[in-house]
């Protein structure tokens, strides 16, 4: 074959391949789920309505959700992706709307989740202070205001309050908190932010530092936070619940965007709420909720936010009075809102509002006023966030049918929880009770403590247990086969405290098992918590004051407690991912810079698995 003909043939084939690839990739959208791809223009009406449903958050009246009730029908008919609960019904100016007490609230959420194929975002507004739908008088925890949290420069207050809050939200079944407010308190006389104590501070840095801890503590409990009110409501002089607020002459762009930029850079922003405010210096025509300049150019492109954008209540007077309900929804979607909040808790209650919202978006797509690609993009963002927080698969460690509950709890609780030297002593349920006891003393997450103990057991299982035979050289033998070993215990560091511990407990040091050395370093660690004697000795007096007797490394309860104290002092009491990572590094190597990152990474992965089990048990009790 002529060489020129071959070259010509190759060029033709390459051109055809390019054309096919171009046509394919320009007619495909990213995966909607693991099993389905949707082509542009290929959505059926039913598919389109289902995806629009995920973009809607609905508020409703009712402290129960029986199958013949309004909200049941909305979930089934509209297939909404989110619901929002409140204690007070604004249109009727009366209590209750949805929330009476913890037991009733948990049952309501459980029922709502059972009615849907794709688990719901179940939202509540708990900032603390005056904005708190879970009030202490109903039996919920008392949460102080953001302003009071921000007054504590040590950040201990925001840490304590947000841990308490996130745990309560998780226990109730909520997975979305419309908090924290990251507005900078530019105007302390602001009627909707400053006067109500909703801002952490007038300093962007203090806002960021407090919000960082607030958000991370929620994430650690699988609660998604919603940072608000973008692009910043702190300088306003009016309340956007009552009408459109103009911040053109008061807005401080340099200060008010910093929290969003910094928190997004740190990977902490998952959902952002828009504000119904207008700044004519930035967008002369539209308020932020309806503004492509604010949501696309600034939030998406400049700040780099890739998560979910949710509108503030679309029925608030600031929007509905000026643009009309349906038109405002279409504008908000085109501007960049992924979720439209139809709170139905403003001046009037309209049970048809959520249907009108769905139909407005659906008809706009059909009329080409909203691009179908926009619906799919928002749908994917929402599902990606649900997947990130283990909400995508129905009943995935969330709420189980009644007939499954006892069986699932029993299955998890009765699993064997193997410990060093105690292969068949504890079940998972029993180990969890020990870990919760330690939580009361140290404030560390039970899942993290159990993860460390499990991780240690896995390592020791590989290298085995030894007896020391020569205290001067540190040599010994393996317990199971008498194989001679060197470096069983480090003489200059651990022999003296080891002898004291065994003497105090009446044990024979030559017949007391300790860990064999790994492929590097020394062995000599004691008991189920795998403590070297010199480290254990640091906690003897403290533990004795707690339990009233000498601590025993080979006693399960004592070992759990000492491990908890050590981890707590090493950063785990912060209950943040970074704090637990640091604690794991220190537990294994004594330093966060030792290079054994694999240990800390594995420990956090194990903790995530254990949290999933705990979540299944606690959410279905």
Supply the residues annotated as catalytic: 241, 312
Q: Are strands 121-124 and 176-177 parallel, antiparallel or unpaired?
A: parallel
Q: Are strands 271-274 and 224-230 parallel, antiparallel or unpaired?
A: parallel
* Residues contacting residue 210 through CB under 8 Å, at least 6 positions apart: 146, 149, 150, 155, 158, 180, 200, 201
Number of Cα atoms under 13 Å in the Cβ half of residue 591: 4
Question: What CA–CA distance (Å, rounded) separates 539 from 587?
Answer: 14
DSSP characters over 358-426: HHHHHHHHHTTSS-HHHHHHHHHHHHHHHHHTT-SSTTSSS---HHHHHHHHHHHHTSEEEETTEEEEE
Q: Tokens 């929007």 appear where?
A: 319
Question: What CA–CA distance (Å, rounded) separates 259 from 244?
Answer: 24
At residue 56, what are phi and psi to the nearest 5 degrees? -115, 135
CB atoms near residue 68 (< 10 Å)? 6
- Cβ–Cβ < 8 Å for 505, 527: no
CA angle 133, 139, 141 (to 5 degrees): 65
What separation in angstroms does the CA of 91 have from each of 124, 180, 468?
18, 26, 76
Question: What CA–CA distance (Å, rounded) separates 441 from 430?
Answer: 17
Question: What CA–CA distance (Å, rounded) separates 395 from 412?
Answer: 16
CB atoms near residue 289 (< 10 Å)? 34
Structure tokens at 366: 């059909």
Closest CA to 258 of 266, 248, 249, 250: 266
The number of residues in the chain equals 621
- Cβ–Cβ < 8 Å for 368, 330: no
* Residues contacting residue 384 through CB under 8 Å, at least 6 positions apart: none
Q: Mark 154-178 as b/e (b = at least 16 C-beta within 10 Å).
A: ebebbbbbbbebbbbbbebbbbbbb
What separation in angstroms does the CA of 225 have from each of 231, 271, 463?
17, 7, 43
- Cβ–Cβ < 8 Å for 157, 148: yes
The dihedral through the CA atoms of 296, 241, 126, 352 has a sign that is negative
């Amino acid at each position: 074959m002529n060489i020129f003909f071959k070259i010509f043939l190759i060029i033709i084939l390459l051109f055809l391949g390019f054309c096919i690839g171009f046509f394919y990739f320009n007619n495909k959208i990213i995966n909607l789920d693991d099993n389905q791809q949707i082509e542009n223009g290929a959505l059926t009406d039913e598919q389109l309505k289902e995806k629009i449903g995920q973009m809607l958050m609905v508020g409703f009246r009712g402290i129960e959700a029986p199958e013949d009730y309004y909200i049941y029908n909305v979930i089934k008919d509209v297939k909404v992706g989110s619901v929002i609960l409140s204690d007070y019904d604004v249109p009727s100016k009366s209590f209750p709307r949805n929330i009476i007490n913890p037991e009733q609230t948990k049952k309501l959420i459980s029922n709502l989740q059972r009615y849907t194929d794709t688990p719901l975002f179940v939202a509540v507004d708990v900032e603390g202070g005056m904005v708190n739908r879970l009030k202490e008088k109903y039996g919920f925890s008392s949460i102080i205001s953001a302003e009071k949290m921000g007054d504590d420069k040590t950040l201990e207050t925001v840490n304590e309050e947000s841990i308490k809050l996130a745990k309560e939200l998780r226990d109730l079944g909520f997975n979305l908190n419309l908090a924290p407010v990251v507005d900078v308190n530019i105007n302390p006389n602001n009627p909707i932010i400053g006067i109500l104590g909703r801002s952490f501070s007038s300093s962007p840095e203090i806002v960021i530092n407090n919000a960082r801890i607030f958000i991370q503590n929620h994430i650690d409990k699988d609660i998604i936070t919603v940072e608000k009110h973008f692009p910043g409501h702190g300088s306003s002089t009016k309340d956007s619940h009552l009408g459109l607020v103009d911040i053109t002459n008061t807005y401080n762009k340099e200060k008010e965007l910093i929290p969003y930029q910094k928190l997004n850079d740190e990977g902490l922003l998952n959902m952002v709420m828009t504000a119904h405010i207008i700044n004519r210096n930035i967008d002369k025509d539209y308020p932020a909720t309806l503004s492509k300049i604010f949501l696309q150019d600034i939030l998406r492109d400049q700040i780099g936010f890739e998560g979910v954008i949710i509108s503030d209540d679309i029925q608030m007077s600031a929007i509905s009075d000026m643009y009309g309900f349906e038109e405002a929804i279409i504008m908000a979607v085109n501007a960049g809102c992924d979720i439209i909040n139809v709170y139905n808790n403003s001046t009037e209650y309209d049970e048809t509002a959520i249907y009108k919202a769905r139909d407005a978006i659906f008809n706009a797509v059909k009329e080409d006023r909203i691009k179908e690609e926009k619906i799919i993009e928002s749908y994917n963002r929402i599902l990606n966030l649900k997947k990130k927080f283990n909400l995508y698969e129905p009943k995935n460690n969330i709420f189980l049918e009644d007939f499954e509950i006892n069986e699932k709890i029993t299955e998890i609780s009765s699993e064997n929880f193997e410990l060093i030297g105690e292969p068949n002593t504890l079940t998972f349920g029993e180990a969890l009770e020990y870990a919760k006891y330690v939580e009361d003393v140290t404030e560390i997450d039970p899942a993290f403590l159990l993860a460390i103990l499990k991780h240690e057991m896995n390592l020791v299982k590989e290298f085995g247990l030894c007896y020391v035979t020569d205290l001067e050289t540190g040599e010994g033998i393996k317990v199971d086969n008498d194989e001679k070993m060197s470096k069983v215990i480090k003489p200059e560091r651990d022999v003296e405290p080891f002898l004291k511990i065994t003497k105090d407990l009446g044990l024979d040091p030559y017949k007391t098992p300790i860990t064999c050395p790994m492929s590097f370093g020394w062995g000599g660690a004691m008991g189920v918590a795998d403590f070297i004697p010199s480290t254990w000795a640091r906690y003897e007096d403290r533990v004795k004051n707690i339990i009233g007797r000498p601590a025993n490394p080979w006693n399960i309860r004592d070992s759990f407690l000492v491990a908890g104290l050590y981890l707590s002092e090493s950063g785990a009491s912060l209950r943040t991912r970074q704090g637990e990572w640091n604690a794991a590094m220190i537990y294994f190597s004594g330093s966060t810079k030792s290079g054994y990152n694999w240990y800390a990474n594995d420990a956090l992965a194990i903790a995530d698995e254990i949290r999933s089990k705990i979540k299944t048990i606690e959410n279905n009790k």
